[in-house]
Amino acid sequence: MIARSRQVALALTAVLAAGAACQARDHHPPESGHPGASAVRDRGFTLVASGDVLPHDSVVDRARFDAGGAGHDFRPMLSGVRSVVVGADLALCHTGIAYGGHGGSPGFTFPPELAQGLAATGYDGCSTASGHALDEGVDGIRRTLDALDGAGVRHAGTARSEHEARTATVLRAGRAEVAHLAYTYGTGGLPLPPDRPWAVALIDEAGILADARAARRAGADVVVVSLHWGTEWQEAPDGQQTALARSLTAARTGDRPDIDLILGTRTHVPQAYEKVNGTWVVYGTGDQISGGTTGSGGVPDPRGNRSTLGRFTFAPPVRPDGRWEVTKAEFIPLLFDVDAGRVVNLDRALRKGAEVSSVRDRIRDVVLSRGAAEDGLVMGE
């Protein structure tokens, strides 16, 4: 892990107090078909989280085609998950690539219309800390966050100013205030700007816990941490992932854990879900959108088009100083159909007769490989 020195604690109190007012988009009630939807609306909330969106040429070309050749439209590409995403009280994604200018910029960048596509799909916020966050320098960070702001999608993990870096992203989910923190293993070998060391939040255990505790002291009911970590193309979480997961989930202040949920990205392939010290950890969601992929050996690897969307149902504490508990944990297996340029909900596709059972079953086996079924994780739809 790459260490990061924290110069100051997060300045959160005023932001949390105004958290609901700062939320630019309304949160959505759970789908009427989701088990326990009525009880969740009355008492708790649902949170969904998905994986990386990568701007391979075929992905950008498809969005241009879907827009009729004028600009880019990512809404059709994401339409297969929209009902699940918009049905949650809080939906989080990961978009760690810089957004380019109109029509895209040279290099590994996304057209800025992606932000509108994410918003239309129902996403409320995204983690932006990744190994590619600095590919276009600080100007790329500015363009990305400006585009997300313009679409009403909140963000965590990169910043345009020191004040923004110190200010936690707080989102309303039902009657809960949820702090979303995000960090990356590094920046792909690019050094942080000497005058802006806060531009990208790097993984550092002490710093993460300091941020989480500051958020909790300021009034956050739930603290969610997104981590861009792990070994690419490896289905099993590596030793650094499992060690950090154990340490972060073991940290407590009084009777409450400092972190309530960990969401992992980067590995390109789905990884296991696991309940560690009573807290759910998604080691790796896989890539929600990606072009044709080649693995670490340089040969085509279809696993790079597979992912999961996690859905967690939180219930309020039974006592005032208690924890918001996850009462239901689900994963939804997804496939990005490269030829069609669409995200596919595999369980729903199976019920419509598509021959995707082997792909769905492989994702299920990986997700459950560390005993999550015994802790109640189920496959959703």
Q: How confident is the model over 72-96, as pLDDT tens digits?
A: 999 999 999 999 999 999 999 999 9
Measured between alpha carbons, how far is 120 from 292 in angstroms, rounded to an integer? Answer: 25
Q: Looking at the predicted structure, is the pLDDT value of residue 157 above 80?
A: yes
pLDDT the model gives residue 326: 98
1 in a structural domain: no
Convert the pLDDT of each residue in 22-59 to its tens digit: 333 344 443 334 444 444 545 799 999 999 999 899 99
The answer to whether position 2 is within a domain reads: no
pLDDT at 98 over 60: yes
Residue 251 maps to which CATH number? 3.60.21.10
Instruction: Let me know if residue 287 belongs to a domain.
Output: yes
CB 98 within 8 A of CB 155: no
CA neighbor of 125 nearest in space, from 101, 152, 150, 154: 154
Task: Identify the three-state secondary structure at position 197.
Answer: coil
pLDDT, average across residues 214-236: 97
pLDDT band with cut points at 50, 70 and 90 for residue 299 = confident
Can you give the pLDDT at residue 15? 36
Q: Answer yes or no: are the C-beta atoms of 304 and 311 closer than 8 Å.
A: no
- Considering only 33-47, 121-135, 334-348, 362-376, which range has the smallest mean pLDDT? 33-47
Distance CA 357, CA 348 (A): 11
Residue with the bigger pLDDT between 17 and 349: it is 349
Q: Model confidence at 297, in pLDDT bands (50, 70, 90)?
A: confident
What is the sign, positive or negative, of the torsion defined by CA atoms of 99, 334, 302, 373? positive
Distance CA 311, CA 305 (A): 20
Quick one: which of 179, 118, 175, 182 has its CA closest to 152? 118
- The predicted structure's pLDDT at residue 358: 97
Domain count, the chain: 1
The answer to the question of residue 355 being in a domain is yes
In a domain, 5, yes or no: no
Residue range of the domain that includes 173: 13-379
> 39 is written with which tokens?
């009880």
pLDDT of residue 234: 97
Q: Give me the pLDDT at residue 5, please.
A: 33
Task: Flag whether 57 is in a domain.
Answer: yes
The whole-number pLDDT of residue 42 equals: 54
3-state secondary structure of 152: coil
Query: Dihedral of CA 332/80/53/12: which sign?
Result: negative
Instruction: Give the model's confidence band at 179: pLDDT under 50 very low, under 70 low, under 90 confident, else very high.
Output: very high
And the tokens for 352?
A: 């419509």
Q: Are 183 and 208 in contact (CB under 8 A)?
A: yes
Q: What is the rounded distance in angstroms from the CA atom of residue 117 to the CA atom of residue 319?
A: 40
- Domain membership of residue 4 (yes or no) is no
Query: pLDDT confidence of 265, banded at 50, 70, 90?
Result: very high
Bridge partners (DSSP) of residue 53 are 289
Q: Is residue 8 part of a domain?
A: no
How far apart (Å, rounded) are the C-alpha atoms in residues 119 and 91?
10
Per-residue pLDDT reduced to its tens digit, 331-353: 999 999 999 999 999 999 999 99
